[in-house]
């Protein structure tokens, strides 16, 4: 099954659903926290958002493999997207995760910074996916 086959299209849909699941919830973290739902947010992050972020990578690499080398890891947009993805995982793990169950002012700032950086990198990823520089 090659580029633009049905399996490829299904992987595209799964890749986008995973991205929605990985990035959507972050928009409501601060609101849920202010509503005293810190434990719910922490659970959502660990058992839903982080696994979804891993699936973004799994389906992205699947797309690359299914494209029969039409899309190559050596292409600028693909290699940069992998670097951006690694940064997103690091932010999710080292900045967002530890600040979710912590009510201190420092944790609040770390959370805001982590969410802000994630949103910037989301826009960078979407630019890479849609414009595919170096393809
Ligand atoms: C980091 C966050 C990422 C986001 C938000 C994201 C989002 C998207 C979106 C919205 C599309 C457009 C749907 C389409 O045209 O198929 C797409 C396509 C694609 N993504 Fe990602 N993606 C991300 C990371 C990755 C990673 C790490 C890879 C790894 C190789 C990857 C590989 C691909 C490929 C191969 C396509 C299909 C392009 C095509 O068919 O022309 N993505 N992605």
Per-residue pLDDT of the chain (135 residues; tens, 9 = 90+): 567 789 999 999 999 999 999 999 999 999 998 899 999 999 999 999 999 999 999 999 999 999 988 999 999 999 999 999 999 999 999 999 999 988 899 999 999 999 999 999 999 999 999 999 998
Return the SS3 of 68. coil
Distance 105 CA to ligand 1 centre (A): 36
| Ligand 1 pocket list (CB less than 6 A) | 12, 15-16, 19, 56-57, 60-61, 63-64, 71, 78, 81-82, 84-85, 88, 122, 125-126, 129
Question: Using an 8 Å Cβ cutoff, are 33 and 96 in contact?
Answer: no
Q: How confident is the model at residue 2, as a pLDDT?
A: 61
Residues 6+ apart with CB under 8 A from 64: 71, 72, 73, 78
Q: How confident is the model at residue 127, as a pLDDT?
A: 98
Exposed (0-12), middle (13-18) or buried (19+): which is 47, by Cβ within 10 Å?
Answer: exposed
Instruction: Report how far residue 8's alpha carbon sits from residue 10's, in angstroms, rounded to the nearest whole number.
Output: 5
* Best residue for ligand 1 mutational test, from 6, 10, 15, 73 (most atoms within 8 Å of Cβ): 15
DSSP assignment of 91-127: HIIIIIHHHSS--SHHHHHHHHHHHHHHHHHHHHHHH
Q: How confident is the model at residue 102, as a pLDDT?
A: 87
Q: How confident is the model at residue 69, as a pLDDT?
A: 86
Distance 68 CA to ligand 1 centre (A): 16
Q: How confident is the model at residue 101, as a pLDDT?
A: 87
Please tell me the residue having the least CA distance from ligand 1 atom 3.
125
């Amino acid at each position: 099954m090659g580029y633009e086959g049905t399996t490829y299209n299904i992987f595209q849909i799964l890749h986008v659903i995973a991205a929605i699941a990985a990035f959507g919830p972050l928009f409501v973290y601060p609101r849920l926290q202010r509503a005293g739902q810190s434990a719910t947010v922490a659970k959502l992050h660990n058992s839903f958002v982080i696994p979804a972020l891993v699936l973004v990578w799994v389906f992205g690499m699947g797309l690359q493999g299914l494209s029969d080398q039409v899309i190559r890891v050596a292409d600028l947009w693909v290699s940069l997207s992998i670097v951006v993805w690694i940064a997103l995982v690091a932010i999710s793990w080292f900045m967002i995760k530890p600040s979710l169950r912590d009510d201190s002012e420092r944790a609040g700032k770390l959370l805001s910074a982590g969410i802000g950086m994630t949103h910037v990198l989301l826009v960078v990823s979407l630019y890479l996916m849609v414009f595919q520089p170096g393809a």
